[in-house]
């Protein structure tokens, strides 16, 4: 991995929650303005139980 380049920054993010009947729900967060070609590599996903609501952290 080449770490000599500039670190990308993003202005806003989108969160998408997918609910599963037979598995933990998942929340995927990705930059709203990311180029389509980078969408598959610029994201993070967490399974239910690994994240909390914003109201609980304020």
- Please write the tens of the pLDDT for every residue from 7-46: 667 788 888 889 999 998 988 888 888 887 777 788 888 8
Per the domain annotation, does 44 fall within a domain?
A: yes
For residue 45, what are the domain limits? 13-50
Per the domain annotation, does 41 fall within a domain?
A: yes
Q: Is 54 within 8 Å of 29 (Cβ atoms)? A: no
CB proximity list for 15: less than 8 A, separation 6 or greater: 27, 28, 29
Per the domain annotation, does 31 fall within a domain?
A: yes
Residue with token string 């998942």? 26
- 2 has a pLDDT exceeding 80: no
Q: What is the pTM of this model?
A: 0.61
Per the domain annotation, does 7 fall within a domain?
A: no
In the chain, how many domains are there?
Answer: 1
Q: Is 45 within 8 Å of 17 (Cβ atoms)? A: no
Per the domain annotation, does 6 fall within a domain?
A: no
């Amino acid at each position: 991995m080449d770490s000599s380049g500039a670190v990308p920054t993003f202005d806003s993010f989108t969160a998408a929650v997918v609910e599963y009947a037979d598995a933990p729900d998942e929340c995927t967060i990705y930059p709203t303005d990311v180029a389509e070609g980078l969408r598959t590599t610029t994201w993070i996903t967490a399974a239910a139980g690994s994240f909390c609501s914003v109201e609980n952290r304020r």
